């Protein structure tokens, strides 16, 4: 079957992005394993992002269980480390410590925001000014972080997926969305789904990672994200909270 990758427009009026670097980090991630949201999978995630002497060592095991938000967060941290290694980003030790994956609850700190129900990544990007959020596939390009909503439910009863957008494909039966994440059932890797199965998506483009320093002035817990385990939100509210 021949698949045509649809060209995606980039609006040059916006700040420069780090999408190419994000894609480079994906290539260095393992493939396979299995998808799991068990306690053991969370322990494996913590071990994968080892922080020592002011540096992150991202070493996920190819056979270890993983889950979607953990997978995309590891790529995010890898991207931050790659920028630091190139001398393009300088972050103080206290800021780097804020990136460590501990047992943060939903909405708490950087990882707790990323891992939360609802638009966790997009909310973090908006709150700290890490880059712009948008919901148009016409503006999307490979390397954008993408939160997929399989239904219009946000928060309690939500069905979502944290991914990194790779492109659109035209197939005989319609258009497909290609992305990378930890996917059910086989863990790390790429996947394509019919665009018609996605009820809504929010894209987040990393543009100004130096603004991670703003976490020191942010609330310890984002109350909106923290509430989404037990309360319902809406697509409209999620968009407002993410600056759309």
> pLDDT digits over 50-102, tens only?
898 888 998 888 888 999 999 999 999 999 999 999 999 999 999 999 999 99
Tens of pLDDT along 123-136?
Answer: 999 999 999 999 99
Residue position matching structure tokens 């929010």:
202
Q: Write down the mean pLDDT value for the chain.
A: 92
- Residue 168, CA distances (Å) to 100, 118, 138, 193, 196 in order: 33, 23, 10, 10, 12
How many percent of the chain have pLDDT more than 90?
A: 83
Judge whether 190 and 34 are in contact, CB under 8 Å: no
pLDDT at 116 over 70: yes
CA-CA distance, 172 to 31, in Å (whole number)? 28
Residue-wise over 48-59: b if at least 16 C-beta within 10 A, else e? bbeeeeeebebe
Closest CA to 184 of 82, 25, 37: 37
How many percent of the chain have pLDDT more than 70?
A: 94
pLDDT computed for residue 2 by the predictor: 38
pLDDT at 9 over 80: no
pLDDT computed for residue 204 by the predictor: 98
């Amino acid at each position: 079957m021949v698949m045509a990758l649809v060209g995606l427009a980039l609006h040059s009026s916006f700040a420069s992005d780090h999408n190419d670097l994000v894609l480079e980090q994906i290539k260095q991630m393992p493939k396979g394993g299995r998808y799991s949201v068990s306690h053991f999978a969370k322990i494996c995630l913590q071990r994968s992002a080892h922080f020592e002497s002011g540096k992150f060592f991202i070493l996920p095991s190819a056979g270890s269980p993983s889950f979607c938000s953990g997978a995309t967060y590891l790529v995010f941290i890898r991207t931050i480390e790659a920028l630091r290694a190139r001398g393009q980003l300088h972050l103080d030790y206290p800021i780097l410590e804020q990136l460590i994956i501990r047992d943060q609850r939903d909405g708490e700190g950087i990882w707790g925001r990323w891992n939360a129900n609802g638009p966790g990544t997009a909310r973090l990007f908006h709150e700290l000014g890490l880059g712009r959020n948008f919901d148009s596939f016409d503006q999307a390009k490979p390397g954008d972080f993408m939160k997929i909503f399989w239904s219009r439910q946000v928060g309690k009863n939500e069905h979502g997926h944290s991914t990194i957008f790779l492109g659109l494909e035209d197939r005989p039966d319609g258009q497909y969305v290609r992305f990378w994440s930890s996917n059910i059932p086989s863990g790390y890797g790429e996947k394509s789904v019919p665009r018609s199965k996605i009820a809504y998506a929010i894209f987040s483009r990393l543009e100004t990672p130096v603004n991670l320093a703003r976490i020191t002035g942010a609330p310890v817990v984002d109350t909106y994200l923290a509430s989404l385990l037990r309360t319902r939100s809406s697509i409209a509210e999620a968009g407002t909270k993410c600056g759309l």
